[in-house]
Amino acid sequence: MQAQITTTKLIKMKQDGEKIVALTAYDFPFAKIVADAGVHVILVGDSLGMVVQGGTSTLPVTMDEMLYHTRIVARGAQGAMVVGDMPFMSYQAGLTQAVENAGRFLKEADAAAVKLEGGADVSDVIAAITAAGIPVQAHIGLTPQSVHQMGGFKVQRDEERLLDDARKVEAAGAFSVVLEGIPGDISKKITDTLNIPTIGIGAGPDCDGQILVLHDMLGLNDRHLPKFVKQYARLADAAREAVADYAKEVADGSFPADEHCY
Ligand code: KIV
C-alpha cells in the first residue's frame, strides 16, 4: 500500500517534477484495483451519471448519489486521495449551500477533498469552502455541468480567460486544478504559471498529472469516446464473452459440474 497521498504531497510532486496519476472510480472493487495499482488520486466523478447510470449528461446526478458512491470508493481506496465531485446545483445557489454540501463529502463519505467546476466565477465558492478547512480541486476549461451554456462538449480555446480562471482558482485557495478540453500549448502556459498542480484530461502532455474516466480507459462501455481517451483494455468484450459462456453452459447443462456441487 502506498503512503497516504495528501494535498501537500501533491504540491511537492509538482515541485519535484513527479507526474501525478489520477483516475475516476465509482465503487469498492474498482477503487481497490485503482489504489493497488498506485494511482495517487481517485476522483469519484459526477461522470458516473453517464458511465454508470447511462445518462447523456452529468446534470441529473444528486448529492445523495455522489455521497453513496464516494463512501463505497473510500472503503477501497487505501493510500490514494479520494476526491468527491460536487454535482450540478450543489454549490451554485449560495456560499452556505456550497460549504454545507462540501462538508458532507468529508463527514458522511470519508472524502479528503472536493472538486467543483468553474473558474473566476466560482472563486468566492472555492474560498468559502477552503476557509472551512475543506481542500478544493478546481476544474476549468470544458466543464460538463455547463454543457448547455457552452453549446456542447467543446474544446475551450480562449487563452486569456483560461489563464485568468487558473490564477483566480489558485488565489482562492484551490490545492489543484483539473484542465479539461484545452489545447496543449495553453495547458502548458497554465501549468508553468501556477504553483498548484494541474491535472489534465484532453489537455496535452505538459500538465503536472493526468486523469481519465475509468470506464472509458478500461473499455467498459460502448459510448462514443472523445479523441483524448486511450483504451488500455476491452473489459466489456471480456465480460460479454464470459456471460455468453455461462449462458451456454447453463443451457447445455455443463454448469454446474461435479466440482461446483456439495
Ligand atoms: O466527473 C468526472 O469524472 C470529471 C473528470 C472527467 C475530471 O470531472
Find out whether 70 and 105 touch, Cβ atoms under 8 Å: yes
Distance between Cα 101 and ligand 1 center (Å):
18
Residue 47 Cα: closest atom of ligand 1: 1
Over residues 182-201, the mean pLDDT reads: 98
Rounded CA separation 169/175 (Å): 9
Residues classed as catalytic: 180
Of all protein residues, the one whose alpha carbon is nearest to atom 1 of ligand 1 is 45
CB distance 216 to ligand 1 below 6 Å: no
| pLDDT top residue among 2 and 45 | 45
Over residues 181-193, the mean pLDDT reads: 98
Which ranges constitute the DSSP H helices of 37-178?
A: 48-51, 63-74, 95-109, 123-131, 147-150, 159-171
The residues with which 136 forms a beta bridge, in sequence order, are 114
Q: Is the pLDDT of residue 233 over 90?
A: yes
Distance between Cα 35 and ligand 1 center (Å):
17
Over residues 22-32, the mean pLDDT reads: 98
Distance between Cα 45 and ligand 1 center (Å):
5
Dig out the grid coordinates for 229 from the structure: 481517451
Using a cut of 0.85, tell me whether the model's pTM lies above it.
Answer: yes
Over residues 131-153, the mean pLDDT reads: 96
pLDDT at 224: 87
Place of cell 446526478: 61
Share of the chain above pLDDT 90, in %: 98
CB distance 190 to ligand 1 below 6 Å: no
- Choosing from 41, 65, 213 the residue with most ligand 1 atoms within 8 A of its CB, the one to mutate for a pocket test is 213
Distance between Cα 23 and ligand 1 center (Å):
9
Q: Is the pLDDT of residue 1 over 80?
A: no
pLDDT at 261: 98
Find out whether 156 and 181 touch, Cβ atoms under 8 Å: yes
CB distance 84 to ligand 1 below 6 Å: no
pLDDT at 98: 98
Question: Can you spell out the DSSP letters for 154-216?
Answer: -----HHHHHHHHHHHHHTT-SEEEEES--HHHHHHHHHH-SSPEEEESS-TTSSEEEE-HHH
Over residues 19-47, the mean pLDDT reads: 98
